[in-house]
Amino acid sequence: MNRSAILLGALLASGASVTWAQSSYPSHPITLIVPFAAGSGTDIGARVLAKDMSDILKAPVIVENKPGANGALGSATAARAKPDGYTLLVGSATTNAVNFSFFPSKLGYEPKSFDVVAGVGTSPISLYIGTSAKWRNLADLLAYGKAHPGQLRCGSGNSVTQVSCELFYKLTGIDATTIPYKSNPQSLTDLAGGHIDFAFSDASVAKTFLDTKKISPIAVAAPKRYPATPEVPTFVEQGVAGLEVTAWTAVFAPTGTPAPVIQKLHAAVLKSSHSPESVQLRASSGTQPLELNREESSHFVKEEIKRWEAYVKSSGVKPE
């Protein structure tokens, strides 16, 4: 056999092995990195997703929490992973949009570090107060804030809610202080205990506190009222325009992951959104499915990066 025939045979064998590897995917456990603490909104959804994906793909899917640095620690870990479909990131508006403007030089990853696998869900951010607070609605809160400059404290558990606090001050003209927490559950715990005056959060995290009647939403940062809380008016309805903030989650793979593997994962994530557990979670938390094809998913994330860049600039928060 001549040299050319040997090389051709090797190339064909190599191509066959790659095709076989992709067709047999997954052959061992998949890790979903959640860059936030257990109990966060991202974590709650990721655990339902992991169970569904395990059933769909016939392979174990394990959730690994890697919180820290506004989600940057876990996201950077996922970005450095081998692009073979066995390490994925459950990213969010914080990790895969806001952080690029918030910490432009400290992340350890960038937009091109990931391919978008599929959207998971969305939830508008709302402003919450403690049920024992002296104000009962947004008008009361603003009146108090303007009469007592510098006294109100806004809780934030990630960069999305931090920017929300700062935008709120700018749009309403109140002078308040942002109190940073490591997660939104921690922020809402202090809100329920009366240690801060109001906080921004997504609905999935707030659900536990709402069920115990420790906090109440008084304004939704969306163009229209939220189906899960139809009695709560939007900011626009209450005279505050320009505050539309949406929390979202999506699955990302390190750039270079084979397209057939991403397509298989994409199909699994979309199928998960129709599982009884996913439907029940959305019903209880008030989140909405983010069902987009791969091209639409990539476009959505790119537009979110642009939107949050404008929000960060408008809020006056200085990038770190």
**pLDDT at residue 269, as a whole number:** 97
List the structure tokens of 260. 């057939």
Kindly list the distances between the CA atom of residue 152 and the CA atoms of 170, 184, 199, in Å, as whole numbers in the listed order: 14, 18, 11
| DSSP single-letter state for residue 233 | P
pLDDT band at 317 (very low <50, low <70, confident <90, very high): confident
Q: In the predicted model, is pLDDT for residue 21 greater than 70?
A: no
Which tens digit of pLDDT belongs to each residue from 43-94?
A: 989 999 999 999 999 999 999 999 988 899 999 999 999 999 999 999 999 9
* Distance in angstroms (rounded) separating the CA atoms of residues 200 and 177: 13
Contact by Cβ (8 Å): 63, 299: no
Q: Does the 124-238 domain belong in CATH 3.30.1330.10?
A: no
Which tens digit of pLDDT belongs to each residue from 113-145?
A: 999 999 999 988 999 999 999 999 999 999 999
Among the listed residues 79, 77, 22, 85, the one whose alpha carbon sits nearest the alpha carbon of residue 53: 85
**pLDDT at residue 272, as a whole number:** 96
Which tens digit of pLDDT belongs to each residue from 290-300?
A: 999 999 999 99
Contact by Cβ (8 Å): 217, 231: no
Element housing 146 (H / E): helix 138-147
In order, the DSSP letters of 40-85 are SHHHHHHHHHHHHHHHHHTS-EEEEE---TTTHHHHHHHHHS-SSS
Phi-psi region of 256 (alpha: psi -120 to 50; beta: other; left: phi over 0): left
Which tens digit of pLDDT belongs to each residue from 81-105?
A: 999 999 999 999 999 999 999 887 7
Per DSSP, the three-state class of 197 is: coil
Residues of the chain with CATH 3.40.190.10: 124-238
Residue with tokens 């209880």: 284
Q: In the predicted model, is pLDDT for residue 255 greater than 80?
A: yes
* Distance in angstroms (rounded) separating the CA atoms of residues 175 and 142: 10
Residues of the chain with CATH 3.40.190.150: 30-123+247-315
Superfamily of segment(s) 30-123+247-315? Bordetella uptake gene, domain 1 (3.40.190.150)
**pLDDT at residue 13, as a whole number:** 46
**pLDDT at residue 22, as a whole number:** 52
| DSSP single-letter state for residue 237 | G
